[in-house]
Amino acid sequence: MADFELIVLGCSTWGDGALQDDFVEFYNAMSKEYFEGKKTAVFGPGDSESYPDFFCEAVVMIEKKLRECNAEVVAESLKIDGDIEPALGEAQSWGLGIAKAF
Ligand SMILES: Cc1cc2nc3c(=O)[nH]c(=O)nc-3n(C[C@H](O)[C@H](O)[C@H](O)COP(=O)(O)O)c2cc1C
């Protein structure tokens, strides 16, 4: 993390509001040591129809953790609902917006 000033994290949500398995180790290791003062943003896909109470909960969890680590969250988190193919344009605009602001 030390080499980067802007860190964009992406994670889908599984179970009932759980992180995807391969993100758990990284999540547990997130600390001020790595994220204090860093510019960050979070995105992830989910499904609001099937999981209305846990929609994109992984995104919510990661954003919360970043704030606890005193990172700066520079953009509203991108939550992609359902099929990701139609949302690719939105995701690209979101990423470009962050890159331009940076
Ligand atoms: C078993 C299972 C549990 C899921 N749990 C959630 C959830 O809690 N919240 C949510 O927003 N989406 C949930 N999803 C939706 C996935 O996040 C979504 O299918 C995935 O991000 C999109 O990737 P895919 O196109 O490979 O399915 C779940 C999907 C499955 C199959």
Whole-structure pTM value? 0.95
| Residue boundaries of the structural domains of the chain | 6-101
Within 10 angstroms of residue 42's Cβ, the number of other Cβ atoms is 25
**Pick from 15-19, 60-64, 65-69, 82-86: least confident:** 82-86
If residue 75 lies in a helix (H) or strand (E), which one and from where to where?
none
Ligand 1 site, residue 27, Cβ cutoff 6 A: no
- Identify the CATH assignment for 6-101 out of 3.40.600.10, 3.40.50.300, 3.40.50.360, 3.30.70.1050: 3.40.50.360
The model's pLDDT over 8-48, given as tens digits with 9 standing for 90+, comes to 999 999 999 999 999 999 999 999 999 999 999 999 999 99
- Output helix, strand, coil percentages for the chain, rounded to the nearest 5: 45, 25, 35
Whether the CB of 12 sits within 6 Å of ligand 1: yes
